[in-house]
């Protein structure tokens, strides 16, 4: 199944979520070769940043909690990676973040010159006080960031949204109005907290962290449903997708592409091909096409 | 009793501490663990940090980790004593491929002896152990194994004065046959061991180290070329090593910045 997305041809609708395995050209290439249509780099920020101390990622069985804390070499310190990525033969999303509208703009403009296929702006990370989510929970600040970035980049813009917004449809509308070409939803849920009762301490060094994996899938499906109702631009749906039926479900809510992150823990790098194959089988068995089912839950409901 | 899974951490109290020398100590935990030599666990000291450690001893009733006091975390870890509480996740990673019938050499540099120790105990009695360290005092578990042991030290205080690579080459030159070499130690040492193996057509398995976060192949902090050290490794065989261009050349800092290995290790040892 070949998919057209914002003028690019993708070998399947699977997307590697930002923050998962996106640390180098070689690993992104491997994820693509193993069956992922579109891969996303780890979020790139304005200044070098180490992220939080460990523990940063804990598996809870029903999903994960993480507060990695937006580590980044800083957009000006990635020349080797950009040189490798320039020669790539796979479609790429570069994710960017900042601590102010000006920083988002500065990072995105530079990153745009390195010619990724798409730029995703992360206005939804819960793991830093100053970056990310603070911009994405308010329609006005979302609009400000998207329009500022849109003005300075030469590739399509994807806005990555947080489920913490009071009305995620309204945020998506603000992003669309500001010139976003697509929406990616959702980032992690929460933040939540896990306390170890023996040491009587929060387990994550940052104390709180974003939830992901199977436990958040119903939140993701609802968010994508609300966004589909609110905007006309395409949606990358993600949050707890681990198999073909999950993917079908979020597509029926309105997603055109399907992201996977935490499920790499459960299914390894082959999970993208596995989910694609399971989707193909389900569609064939039901005599339906991929296009038929996008947003189907809106028409049947 | 709690069982360890690779999901949630469990809290364990240190059962006992054995001081190996002035910079190394071994912490024992009375806990059953499903384990293969070469695998590692994530060790959390509440309020300090969480780091990967390979298992240095394993039986049905207990396991241990051996710590070299080097950085902030390991200095905290080595100060732990009986009854202190730590969190454990794992085991993670692939572990060594153990072929009990082969004629093998195990080549250890410094604290690299730790992951190799439970491996040696799974191998046959014809195994050759080559262990190098700074001084005689830094040789780990000198009396633990009942096999041929060839030591070397930087100062000549035990065994040959020189490197493990020289000892390995001498063994091969003297006609000793090895089907396989297992190695762990400084990456430059492992690289040269691998090169010797390539020249002599010996298959080789090395245990790599990179900065880690999740331990289960998701976050990408520990990528080495196209491989994720925590899940695809930490043990890599000759086929993978031949195409791994970051082996002995590059690693990522905590920020994700790619740097030369020397810069990486000077940061890691802080």
Give B237's strand partners: B205
Q: Does residue B141 sit in the same domain as residue B79?
A: no
pLDDT of residue A126: 76
Q: Does residue B157 sit in the same domain as residue B223?
A: no
pLDDT of residue B7: 64
The rounded mean pLDDT for chain A is 95
Mark yes or no for CB contact B218/A264 under 8 Å: yes
What letters, b where the CB count within 10 A reaches 16 and e where it falls short, cover A245-274?
A: ebbbbbbbbbbbbbbbbbbbbebbbebbbb
Q: Other C-beta atoms within 10 Å of B16: how many?
A: 14
Q: Does residue B117 sit in the same domain as residue B170?
A: yes
Condensed to tens digits (0 to 9), the pLDDT of residues A191-247 reads: 999 999 999 999 999 999 999 999 999 999 999 999 999 999 999 999 999 999 999
Question: How many domains does chain A fold into?
Answer: 1
Q: Which of A20, A59, A125 to mutate to test the interface with B (most CBs of B within 10 A)?
A: A59
Strand B203-207 to strand B235-237: parallel, antiparallel, or no bridges (unpaired)?
antiparallel
Q: Does residue B125 sit in the same domain as residue B83?
A: no
Q: Does residue B181 sit in the same domain as residue B218?
A: no
d(CA A254, CA A299): 11
Q: Does residue B104 sit in the same domain as residue B154?
A: yes
Mark yes or no for CB contact B218/A261 under 8 Å: yes
Q: Are B268 and B71 in contact (CB under 8 A)?
A: yes
Two tokens, residue A264: 């790499």
Q: Other C-beta atoms within 10 Å of B38: how many?
A: 25
Q: What secondary structure does DSSP assign to A97-129, as a single string? A: --SSHHHHHHHHHHHHHT--SEEEEE----S-S
Two tokens, residue B43: 């060790």
> At a CB cut-off of 8 Å and minimum separation 6, what does A197 contact?
none
Alpha-carbon distance B52 to nearest alpha carbon in chain A (angstroms): 10
Condensed to tens digits (0 to 9), the pLDDT of residues A145-154 reads: 999 999 999 9
d(CA A81, CA A73): 11
Q: Torsion-angle region of residue A74: left (phi > 0), alpha (psi -120 to 50) or beta?
A: left
Rg (alpha carbons) of chain A, rounded to whole number: 18
Q: What is the ipTM of this complex?
A: 0.93
Chain A residue numbers touching B7 (CB-CB < 8 A): 59-61
pLDDT of residue B1: 39
Q: Cα–Cα–Cα angle for A67, A69, A73, nearest 5°?
A: 145
Backbone angles phi, psi at A168, to 5 degrees: -65, -25
Give the domain-ending residue among B74, B92, B110: B92
Mark yes or no for CB contact B226/A30 under 8 Å: yes
Mark yes or no for CB contact A199/B217 under 8 Å: no
Mark yes or no for CB contact A24/B252 under 8 Å: yes
Q: Are A161 and A187 in contact (CB under 8 A)?
A: yes
Q: Both ends of chain A: CA-CA distance in Å? A: 27
Domain limits for position B226: 212-232+247-270
Q: Is B216 within 8 Å of chain A by CB?
A: yes
Q: Is B84 within 8 Å of chain A by CB?
A: no
Q: Are A211 and A187 in contact (CB under 8 A)?
A: no
Condensed to tens digits (0 to 9), the pLDDT of residues A22-68 reads: 999 999 999 999 999 999 999 999 999 999 999 999 999 899 999 99
Q: Which of B240, B256, B270 to mutate to test the interface with A (most CBs of A within 10 A)?
A: B256
Q: Are A211 and A204 in contact (CB under 8 A)?
A: no
Mark yes or no for CB contact A58/B9 under 8 Å: yes
Q: Are A159 and A142 in contact (CB under 8 A)?
A: yes
Q: Does residue B23 sit in the same domain as residue B83?
A: yes
Three-class SS of residue A162?
coil
Minimum-distance CB partner of A61 among B7, B225, B257: B7
d(CA B165, CA B247): 17
Two tokens, residue A5: 């997305």
CATH of the domain at B197: 3.40.50.80
Two tokens, residue B109: 């540099």
Q: Does residue B198 sit in the same domain as residue B228?
A: no
- For residue B216, give the chain A residue with the closest CA: A265
Q: Both ends of chain B: CA-CA distance in Å? A: 37
Digits of tens for pLDDT over chain B (270 positions)?
344 454 678 999 999 999 999 999 999 999 999 999 999 999 999 999 999 999 999 999 999 999 999 999 999 999 999 999 999 999 999 999 998 899 999 999 999 999 999 999 999 999 999 999 999 999 999 999 999 999 999 999 999 999 999 999 999 999 999 999 999 999 999 999 999 999 999 999 999 999 999 999 999 999 999 999 999 999 999 999 999 999 999 999 999 999 999 999 988 876
CATH of the domain at A28: 3.20.20.70
Residue A58: name the closest of B215, B224, B93 by CA. Answer: B215
Give the domain-ending residue among B65, B92, B119: B92
CATH of the domain at B69: 2.40.30.10
Backbone angles phi, psi at B73, to 5 degrees: -65, -50
The verdict on whether omega for the bond into residue A179 sits within 30 degrees of 0, i.e. cis, is no
pLDDT of residue B2: 44
Two tokens, residue B125: 């009695």
Question: How many domains does chain B fold into?
Answer: 3
Sign of CA dihedral B31, B37, B42, B48: positive
> At a CB cut-off of 8 Å and minimum separation 6, what does B95 contact?
B35, B36, B37, B38, B39, B235
Alpha-carbon distance B183 to nearest alpha carbon in chain A (angstroms): 25
d(CA B255, CA A262): 21
Q: How far is CA B155 from CA B141, B151, B178, in A?
A: 19, 12, 28
What's the whole-model pTM score?
0.94
Chain B residue numbers touching A202 (CB-CB < 8 A): none
Has residue A77 got a pLDDT over 80? Answer: yes
* Catalytic-role residue among A125, A175, A184, A223: A125
pLDDT of residue B270: 67
> Is residue B251 in a domain?
yes
Q: Is B72 within 8 Å of chain A by CB?
A: no
- Band of residue A136 on the pLDDT scale cut at 50, 70, 90: confident
- Across the A:B interface, residue pairs with CB atoms under 8 Å apart total 128
d(CA A59, CA A268): 15
> Is residue B240 in a domain?
no
pLDDT average, residue stretch A161-186? 97
Is A125 catalytic? The answer is: yes
Mark yes or no for CB contact A64/B218 under 8 Å: yes
What 8-state DSSP symbol labels residue B226? T
Q: Does residue B70 sit in the same domain as residue B116?
A: no
**If you search the block for the tokens 């306390």, which residue do you land on?**
A195
Give B16's strand partners: B28
- Higher-pLDDT residue of A82 and A136 is A82
Two tokens, residue B48: 């300090």
Rg (alpha carbons) of chain B, rounded to whole number: 18
pLDDT of residue A301: 61
Domain limits for position A122: 3-300
> Is residue B239 in a domain?
no
């Amino acid at each position: 199944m070949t998919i057209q997305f914002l003028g690019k041809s993708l070998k399947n609708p699977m997307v590697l979520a930002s923050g998962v395995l996106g640390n180098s050209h070689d690993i992104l290439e491997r994820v693509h070769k193993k069956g992922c249509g579109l891969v996303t780099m780890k979020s790139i920020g304005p200044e070098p940043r180490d992220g939080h101390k460990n523990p940063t990622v804990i598996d809870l069985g029903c999903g994960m909690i993480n507060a990695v804390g937006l580590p980044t070499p800083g957009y000006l310190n990635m020349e080797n990676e950009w040189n490798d990525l320039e020669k790539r033969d796979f479609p790429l999303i570069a994710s960017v973040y900042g601590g102010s509208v000006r920083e988002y703009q500065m990072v995105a403009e530079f990153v745009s010159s390195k010619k990724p296929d798409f730029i995703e702006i992360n206005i939804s990370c819960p793991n830093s006080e100053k970056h990310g989510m603070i911009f994405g929970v308010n329609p006005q600040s979302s609009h400000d960031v998207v329009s500022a970035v849109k003005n300075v980049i030469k590739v399509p813009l994807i806005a990555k949204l947080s489920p913490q917004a009071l009305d995620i449809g309204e945020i998506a509308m603000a992003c669309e109005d500001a010139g976003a070409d697509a929406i990616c939803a959702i980032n992690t849920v929460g933040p939540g907290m896990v306390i170890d009762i023996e040491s009587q301490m929060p387990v994550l060094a940052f104390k709180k962290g974003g939830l992901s994996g199977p436990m958040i899938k119903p939140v993701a499906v609802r968010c994508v449903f609300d966004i589909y109702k609110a905007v006309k631009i395409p949606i990358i749906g993600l949050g707890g997708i681990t198999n073909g039926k999950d993917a079908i479900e979020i597509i029926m809510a309105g997603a055109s592409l399907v992201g996977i992150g935490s499920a790499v823990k459960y299914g390894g790098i082959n999970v993208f091909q596995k989910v694609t194959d399971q989707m193909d089988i389900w569609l064939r068995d039901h005599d339906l096409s991929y296009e038929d089912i996008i947003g189907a839950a809106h028409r049947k409901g | 009793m709690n069982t360890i899974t690779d999901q949630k951490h469990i809290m364990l109290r240190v059962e006992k501490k054995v001081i190996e020398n002035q910079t190394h100590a071994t912490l024992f935990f009375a806990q059953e663990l499903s384990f293969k030599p070469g695998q590692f666990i994530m060790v959390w000291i509440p309020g300090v940090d969480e780091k990967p450690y390979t298992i240095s001893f394993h039986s049905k009733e207990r396991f241990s980790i051996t710590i070299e006091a080097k950085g902030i975390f390991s200095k905290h870890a080595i100060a732990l004593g009986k009854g202190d509480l730590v969190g454990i996740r794992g085991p993670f990673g692939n572990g060594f491929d153990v072929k009990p019938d082969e004629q093998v050499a195990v080549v250890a540099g410094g604290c690299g002896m730790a992951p190799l120790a439970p491996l040696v105990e799974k191998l046959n009695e014809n195994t050759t152990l080559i262990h190098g360290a700074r001084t005689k005092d830094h040789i780990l578990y000198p009396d633990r194994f009942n096999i041929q042991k060839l030591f070397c030290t930087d100062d000549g205080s035990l065994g040959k004065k020189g490197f493990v690579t020289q000892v390995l080459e001498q063994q091969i030159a003297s006609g000793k046959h090895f089907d396989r070499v297992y190695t762990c130690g400084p990456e430059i040492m492992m690289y040269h061991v691998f090169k010797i193996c390539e020249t002599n057509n010996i298959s080789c398995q090395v245990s790599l180290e990179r900065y880690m976060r999740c331990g289960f192949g998701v976050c990408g902090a520990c990528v080495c070329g196209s491989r994720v050290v925590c899940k695809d490794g930490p043990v890599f065989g000759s086929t993978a090593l031949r195409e791994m261009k970051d082996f002995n050349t590059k690693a990522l800092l905590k920020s994700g910045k790619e740097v030369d290995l020397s810069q990486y290790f000077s940061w890691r040892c802080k």
